[in-house]
Amino acid sequence: MSDELFAAFLKLDGRRCLVVGAGRIAESKIESLVRCGADVRVVAPEATEAVQEAAREGKIVWEQRAFKPSDLTGVFLVVAATSSRELHEAIFAQARREGILCNAVDEPERCDFYYPAVVRRGPLQIAVSTSGRAPVLAAHIRKQLEEQFGPEYGPFTEKIGRVRNEMMADGASPQERLARLQELCAGRPSGDTAGGADETAAGKVYFVGAGPGDPELLTRKAWRLLQSADAVLHDALVSPEILQLIGAQAKIIDAGKRCGSHSVTQEHIHEQLIAHARAGRKVVRLQGGDPLVFGRAGEEMAALRDASIEFEVVPGVTSASAAAAAAQISLTNRKLASKLIFLSAHRCKGDFAADWASLARRDATLAIYMPGRHYADIARKLVQAGLPAETPCVIVSQASTPRQLILRLDLASLPELPEPPAPALLLVGEVTRAEAVEAATAWGAGGETVEKEAFR
């Protein structure tokens, strides 16, 4: 006997379907049958308010009594949704004899068909089944598919259907139809599809925050855009885990700007964004953290405005938040730090310049992005500006990824620190003091971990 299931979508419009039982579990079964236009009859001594309301509105017929064998006469399929296994066995046995499809809820052995977990996007339906073995897994997969295939797929499916019908009416050959429809499908839908716009007519650029590196910290919108983009221009520090989410159809372009080595120019990035958008593509400009925090989004948005290219910003989790979460630190504290100061130490040319007198505050937390090779310089100037050498600090390298490293030390120890792997963020201030920590670690040469004296 084969366990293989035949996957099919049934047309139930006008067909008589019986549901035995009218409790909470039966509600969803009844609703799905009504949605498909079935002639639904419910048999049960009692019913929930929702089932009673459906009966009052004429959507179903509810007979307030116990099941009897004659109820199966003329029925196409039956759903048994009661608490009685004995009744389910009797219904299933009779349905088998009379050639009626039967589903006994939560009893796979008494089912001719299963209710799948379904993603509905207009005429597009994606059904997931585990053959009745693991419905929770099916529901989990459905949630993932709902993120991948957003509401825009409903209008997109309608559009492809209209094009297909028009080409058939015009007498296009099967080869012509196939080529055109494959071209449309490869284009992927955009959020504008719901408004009736043709997403292939004009491109758009999305500035997407990749967050600190953990794919689960992406927004749902960012995830969908990565799946459907035609071109992705990414920074050097976007994690491999995030890059793996990019759809197979996308052209992936490394637009990383690396200090001290040959890299792509900012002007060339502008040119590529504009060129891909003018070619009618959905373009993702993927930047680590949040694109509006210490990135070049301002320059790139200005270039797109000048070129009359539409764009949108999708925020991401910025590195300061990710680092603080990893180290279990509150960036602000009513007693210790009422101010939070973001600054960048990144300079490809010249020294790291800052108003150190204004930064050396005991009532503030400093979040220093891209400290790079400047740890000794930062420590020296903060101490010279008035911060005690024992001021605690934390460095978080590659936050939220499997390669994450948390280094707890103080300003006096910073000059001795070998440069941790990028991306890294330095937090300075009393909020970083971990009183329970007895030893702090620093990244040593060759990847080994060495202990440093703990701050108190």
Catalytic positions, written as ranges: 235, 257
Are the C-beta atoms of 65 and 87 separated by less than 8 Å?
A: no
3-state secondary structure of 118: strand
CA distance 255 to 250: 15
**Number of other residues whose CB lies within 10 A of the CB of residue 133:** 11
**Number of other residues whose CB lies within 10 A of the CB of residue 388:** 13
**Apex CA 238: angle with CA 233 and CA 242, to 5°?**
90
CA distance 17 to 101: 10
Q: Do the strands 424-428 and 364-369 form a parallel or antiparallel pair, or are they unpaired?
A: antiparallel
CA atoms within 13 A on the CB side of 453: 9
**Apex CA 438: angle with CA 436 and CA 444, to 5°?**
125
Report whether the peptide linkage leading into residue 423 is cis, meaning its omega lies within 30 degrees of zero.
yes
In 75-173, where does DSSP find H-type helix?
85-98, 135-148, 153-169
Q: Based on DSSP, count helices (H) and strands (E) in the chain, helices before strands.
A: 13, 19
Q: Map tokens 């009692």 to a residue.
A: 46
* Cβ neighbours for 318, distance < 8 A, ≥ 6 positions apart: 209, 289, 290, 293
CA distance 443 to 371: 15
**Apex CA 245: angle with CA 242 and CA 248, to 5°?**
140
Are the C-beta atoms of 111 and 103 separated by less than 8 Å?
A: yes
Calculated CA dihedral for residues 326, 332, 336, 341, nearest 10 degrees: 100
CA distance 306 to 385: 43
**Number of other residues whose CB lies within 10 A of the CB of residue 239:** 20
Are the C-beta atoms of 400 and 328 separated by less than 8 Å?
A: no
